[in-house]
Amino acid sequence: MKKLICASAFLAAGAAFAEPNPQNWDEVLKEANGQTVYWNAWGGSTQTNDFISWVGERVSQEHGVTLEHVKLTDTADAVGRVVAEKAAGKDEGGAVDMIWINGANFASMKEAGLLFGPFASSLPNWEFADADGKSLTTDFTVPTESYESPWAMAQVVFIYDSETVENPPKSAQDMLEWAKRNPGRFTFPQPPDFLGATFLKQMLIDLAEDTSVLQEPVGDNYAEVTAPLWSWLDEITPHFWRSGRAYPQSGPRQLQLINDGEVDIAISFSPGEATAAIANDQLPESARTFVLDKGTLGNASYVAIPYNASAKEGAMVVANFLLSPEAQLRAQTPDILGYGTVLNMEALPSADRASFEQLELGIATLSPAELGSSLAEPHPSWVARIEADWAERFSVAK
């Protein structure tokens, strides 16, 4: 696979592309040695935190880069730091070197000129990325233009306890009927938690008559398009866990409710999460996963580098390692993370390809055929409106 950015394109980027030059990889490696990279990333999962620690060990061993995980509860916190530094005129030496990002946060940083790049397609391991097959050049309909580098694929699945749920609901309407028959046995994380927002988007897509409008920026049709979602939520909310008067604050807390026997179904954005959670005694052995008949949302997780990062070279080294077959295989291993890979198997050396082919996905993980094709994310502008509307109508904190 050829790199997407030629030297002329790099030079044409002008002021938007400050040093270092990602195409001079030897120089990047030289400057990265001894740097400390502050990776601002969600810290709400033990498995994810352990994986990031392992990444830190590997880039330290191979390249002399120290990786510090700045644990976030909301990616917007890191974005806010960069915005504040920009407002204060701190255009170099910033506190944030790399962010786990996608969707609305990426769109807002890109639009405001707060990102370093383009860089992703110049990384040596980009040759292994499945840029076209896995839609790695757009993020929630926004062209990435190489300002962020992918490292994991995700698709919505629903986790359920097969001992208590014989036939899991495969649509929003089925879910409503199931909730009425089983009051208090289902919930979702409270928005603006990303899984909570994802649940709202997933239900909207399942209920909407025309989903194509969601690929465009939100407009005057908002009320009409979202009306089925609010009607559905009005009907189902009284049948949620604690009658919809309380919500788990995160995905891990939601899984704990299943493990404690309080609920039977939970949403996840990782097809392998249930298998990993079983292996780590965080879910019962009877946990399984399912998808909806119309399909479920899918997207990639990326890393981006702020325009004023202190360790741009080190951040690129970390981003490149995350694209390596070694890191991708470990991330897909069920009892580690169970994430989908962003790599193109046909582009890999035969030994690496064989390692992926031999990987056992686990008892609670759906096969690629069972997962089916993922659905496109809505334009980021829909998310903010839906979250605000939900908070006004249903939030227990209002």
In angstroms, the CA 142 to CA 232 distance is 29
Domain spans of the chain, in order of start: 13-151+300-361, 157-296+373-394
CA-CA-CA-CA torsion sign (143, 154, 377, 115): negative
Mean pLDDT value across residues 67-93 = 96
Residue 279's pLDDT is: 87
Q: Is the pLDDT of residue 51 over 50?
A: yes
Q: Has domain 157-296+373-394 been given CATH number 3.10.20.30?
A: no
Q: Is the pLDDT of residue 363 over 60?
A: yes
Q: What is the pLDDT of residues 266-284, one digit of tens each?
A: 999 989 899 989 988 999 9
Who wins on pLDDT, 109 or 298?
Answer: 109
Query: Contact, 288 vs 266, CB < 8 A?
Result: no
Q: How confident is the model at residue 387 (pLDDT cuts 50, 70, 90)?
A: very high
- Across 42-51, 61-70, 308-317, least confident range: 42-51
Q: What is the pLDDT of residues 195-225, one digit of tens each?
A: 999 999 999 999 998 999 999 999 999 999 9
Look-up of token digits 């790399």:
98
- Across 16-25, 69-78, 130-139, 387-396, least confident range: 16-25
Mean pLDDT value across residues 92-99 = 97
CATH label, 13-151+300-361, candidates 3.40.190.10, 2.60.40.10, 1.10.287.1260, 3.40.50.720: 3.40.190.10
- Structure tokens given for 50: 């352990």
Q: How confident is the model at residue 133 (pLDDT cuts 50, 70, 90)?
A: confident
Mean pLDDT value across residues 342-351 = 93
Look-up of token digits 């990786």:
67
Q: Which residues pair with 149 in a beta bridge?
A: 303
* CA distances (Å), origin 88, targets 16, 75, 305, 308, 310: 19, 21, 19, 12, 16
Query: Percent of the chain having pLDDT more than 70?
Result: 95
Mean pLDDT value across residues 4-16 = 38
Q: Is the pLDDT of residue 243 over 90?
A: yes
Q: How confident is the model at residue 115 (pLDDT cuts 50, 70, 90)?
A: very high
- Structure tokens given for 245: 């008067």
Q: How confident is the model at residue 373 (pLDDT cuts 50, 70, 90)?
A: confident
Q: What is the pLDDT of residues 141-150, one digit of tens each?
A: 899 999 999 9
Query: Contact, 74 vs 192, CB < 8 A?
Result: yes
For residue 324, the one-letter residue type is S
Q: How confident is the model at residue 397 (pLDDT cuts 50, 70, 90)?
A: low
Mean pLDDT value across residues 230-242 = 98
For residue 264, the one-letter residue type is D
- Structure tokens given for 276: 């990993």
Q: Where do the DSSP E strands lie in 7-90?
A: 36-42, 66-72
Q: Do domains 13-151+300-361 and 157-296+373-394 have the same CATH topology?
A: yes
